[in-house]
Structure formats: structure tokens, C-alpha cells
């Protein structure tokens, strides 16, 4: 089996930042990503615009130039892809990590394609892989999706968008503008407070003028081939429906963390056990980086405030090896 000083699970922006830092410091490393480069960003909606400005999405002080202050998905893909290729980062794509086991001094990392040994492991897997399910009858129908890509698909269709945050609001507005008849189903009394400040007035106006029909304090009860059944404050309501976008958020892969042996808090936050000064978990040699550190608090960590994790982790690994650079 091939052996590395460091194996990084996840090829998103933070995983790439960890690879850059490892490479600069002479560590033998490998990044493993289950999809394409920055898989989560690739699966974002085609027209998505970031909340953060381009300079706040930069890693390793490499300039990120975008047409507007807040870059779009295609610009981010170009930026992170160029970082990987121009720096010739060691990256295996379309390879899924299935198990991480402690074997004497090293970790045995089992993937869908190979097996490796590593002295240290960084888990930087984000939270975009497991959607929060509605858990209602009919959710398994082909008409239901928990990911939104392109508004053109829903043109001239009766579309129910479930959710109140940025992903749901963006989808509702884009699809309405492409000719969909949009119903917005929101569990609470209003549009989510974290909706982008330049988008909120748009959705509020569209709701007030009746272009988009919003159902507040409402939950989905059942989904059928041509209908969606809602539980509203006024009772049960049945709407004609062609497609459902259930954009109710996503969950980190806690089952994977637990299989590795990482301790999680027993409350609803499910916070993983790690030392914020080193990012090392309760397992010596296993580190966390990026949004995965926040458990269910997926709004706590972003690219701009977790890119520093790469330097913190590599510094600790070098310190253990006795090769930390002197400033």
C-alpha cells in the first residue's frame, strides 16, 4: 500500500487549502475527492452567486478576480480548478473514502478504488451530501428533488419549492422568471432571516404582488404524481403540482465520523470533538477542517473563516514531526 504523511478527505476549497499548505511544507500528501474538483460547488445551481466577495473566498493569498464583487459559481469553479492544476496538487477524483482505521502507527484508509496508509488524516467533507428529508409519503417520487440546478427545466410547470433559506428563495425566483408557476412552502411565519440582503426585497415583492404564492406556517403532508398536499393553518390544502424542490438544508455525514471514532455531542447540535487550537479530534492524528467542524450548525463555518484551518493543522503535524519552520 502507498503511504503518505497526510491524507485529506475532501477536495473542496478547504481540502485544497490543506493540500497547498502540506505541499509548501514538504509533506507527502494526497487529496481524495468522491466527485470532480470542488464537488459541492459543482453541484450548486448554475446561476448561483456567492454571499461573500471574491477576496474572502481566496485561499493561500492567491488572487480571485471576478466580474462582480460577489463571484458566481462558474467563476469559483475556474478559480479553484486553476489552483489545483497550476500547483499540480496530488488529487484523486471520483474516489470515495469508505473507511479509516487505526493500524499501529498509521491509519489504513480504504476507498472505492484503493487502500492507503497515512500518518495523519484531515476530514474536510463539508455537509452538502445528505439532504434533510421531509419524511412524508411520496418523497421518493421522481418528481421530487433535494438539489436544484437549472431553472429552464421547470419552465411552464407547476413547481412547489419547500424551504425559506437562500437555496429555496433563489430557486423560487429563478424558476418564476423562466415561466414556472411557483408555490413557496415555508414552515415558519416569514422568509428566512439569512436570505441574502439583495434578494430579500425581490422575493417579498413577488409574494406581495401575487407572482409567487407563499404558504407560511405550512408543512408538506403528502406528495402525489399530480398533486401536493399541504398542512396549513386553515387546514389541509391540495395543490396541482408537477415538480417539488425540497430545499430544506443538508446534514454532515455523522455516520462516517462515528465510524472513524470521532466523538459527537449528544445534543441536537452534534458537535464533533476537536481541539480548536490544533483542529485535532479525540483521535490522535485525525483532524477536522471546514464546515464539518460545526456539526448541525452548518451556518457557522464558511470558506472565509475556515481557510485558516489548513495552516493550523499543518503547523501541528510539523510540530509532531519536529520539522516546524521557525518564523
Q: Which residue has the cell 484508509?
A: 109
CB 294 within 8 A of CB 272: no
CB count within 10 Å of CB 274 equals: 21
- Determine the pLDDT at residue 326: 45
Q: Delimit the domains of the chain by residue range.
A: 2-130+250-321, 133-246
Q: Do domains 2-130+250-321 and 133-246 have the same CATH topology?
A: yes
Distance from C-alpha of 21 to C-alpha of 107, rounded to nearest angstrom: 21
Alpha carbon dihedral 253, 50, 20, 317, in 10-degree steps, equals -50
- Determine the pLDDT at residue 1: 87
Handedness of CA 20, 25, 26, 31 (dihedral sign): negative
Measuring CA to CA, how many Å separate 59 from each of 20, 54, 64, 76, 244?
9, 10, 9, 12, 36
Sequence-distant (6+) residues with CB within 8 A of 290 are: 10, 12, 13, 14, 15, 124, 125, 126, 301, 303, 306, 309
Sequence-distant (6+) residues with CB within 8 A of 281 are: 262, 263, 272, 273, 274, 275, 287, 288
Distance from C-alpha of 248 to C-alpha of 162, rounded to nearest angstrom: 7
3-state secondary structure 61-95: CCCCCCCCCCCEHHHHHHHHHHHHHHCCCCEECCC
The verdict on domain 133-246 having CATH code 3.90.950.10 is no
Phi, psi of 5 (to 5 degrees): -65, -35
- Determine the pLDDT at residue 168: 96
- Determine the pLDDT at residue 322: 81
C-alpha cell recorded at residue 157: 410547470
Q: Could you list the pLDDT tens digit for every one of the 327 residues in the chain? A: 899 999 999 999 999 999 999 999 999 999 999 999 999 999 899 999 898 999 999 999 999 999 999 999 999 999 999 999 999 999 999 999 999 999 888 999 999 999 999 999 999 998 887 899 999 999 999 999 999 999 999 999 999 999 999 999 999 999 999 999 999 999 999 999 889 899 999 999 999 999 999 999 999 999 999 999 999 999 999 999 999 999 998 888 999 999 999 999 999 999 999 999 999 999 999 999 999 999 988 778 888 999 999 999 999 999 998 865 543
Measuring CA to CA, how many Å separate 188 from each of 3, 4, 223?
51, 49, 20
Measuring CA to CA, how many Å separate 110 from each of 32, 265, 290?
11, 26, 22
Distance from C-alpha of 317 to C-alpha of 159, rounded to nearest angstrom: 50
Q: SS3 for 315?
A: helix
Distance from C-alpha of 127 to C-alpha of 73, rounded to nearest angstrom: 18
CB 17 within 8 A of CB 307: yes
Q: Which fold has domain 2-130+250-321?
A: FAD/NAD(P)-binding domain (3.50.50)
Q: SS3 for 209?
A: coil
Distance from C-alpha of 268 to C-alpha of 276, rounded to nearest angstrom: 20
Amino acid at each position: 500500500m502507498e503511504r503518505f504523511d497526510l491524507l485529506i478527505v475532501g477536495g473542496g476549497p478547504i481540502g485544497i487549502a490543506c493540500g497547498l499548505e502540506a505541499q509548501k511544507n514538504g509533506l507527502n500528501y494526497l487529496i481524495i475527492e468522491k466527485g470532480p474538483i470542488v464537488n459541492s460547488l459543482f453541484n450548486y445551481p448554475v446561476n448561483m452567486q456567492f454571499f461573500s466577495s471574491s477576496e474572502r473566498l481566496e485561499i493561500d493569498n492567491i488572487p480571485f478576480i471576478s466580474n462582480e464583487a460577489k463571484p458566481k459559481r462558474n467563476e469559483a469553479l475556474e478559480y479553484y480548478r486553476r489552483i489545483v492544476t497550476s500547483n499540480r496538487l496530488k488529487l484523486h477524483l471520483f474516489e470515495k473514502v469508505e473507511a479509516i482505521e487505526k493500524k499501529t502507527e498509521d491509519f489504513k484508509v480504504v476507498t472505492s478504488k484503493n487502500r492507503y496508509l497515512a500518518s495523519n488524516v484531515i476530514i474536510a467533507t463539508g455537509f452538502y451530501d445528505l439532504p434533510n428529508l421531509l419524511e412524508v409519503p411520496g418523497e421518493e417520487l421522481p418528481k421530487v428533488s433535494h438539489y436544484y440546478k437549472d431553472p429552464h427545466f421547470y419552465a411552464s410547470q407547476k413547481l412547489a419549492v419547500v424551504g425559506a433559506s437562500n437555496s429555496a428563495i433563489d430557486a423560487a425566483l429563478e424558476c418564476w422568471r423562466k415561466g414556472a408557476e411557483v408555490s413557496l412552502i415555508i414552515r415558519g411565519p416569514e422568509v428566512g432571516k439569512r436570505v441574502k440582503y439583495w434578494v430579500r426585497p425581490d422575493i417579498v415583492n413577488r409574494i406581495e404582488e401575487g407572482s409567487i404564492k407563499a404558504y407560511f406556517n405550512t408543512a408538506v403532508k403528502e406528495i402525489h404524481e399530480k398533486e401536493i398536499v399541504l398542512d396549513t393553518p386553515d387546514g389541509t390544502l391540495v395543490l396541482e403540482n408537477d415538480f417539488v424542490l425540497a430545499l430544506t438544508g443538508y446534514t454532515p455525514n455523522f455516520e462516517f465520523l462515528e465510524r472513524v471514532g470521532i466523538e459527537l455531542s449528544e445534543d441536537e447540535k452534534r458537535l464533533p470533538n476537536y481541539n480548536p487550537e490544533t483542529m485535532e479530534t479525540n483521535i490522535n492524528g485525525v483532524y477536522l477542517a471546514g464546515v464539518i467542524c460545526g456539526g448541525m450548525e452548518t451556518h457557522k463555518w464558511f470558506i472565509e473563516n475556515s481557510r485558516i484551518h489548513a495552516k493550523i493543522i499543518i503547523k501541528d503535524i510539523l510540530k509532531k514531526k519536529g520539522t516546524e519552520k521557525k518564523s
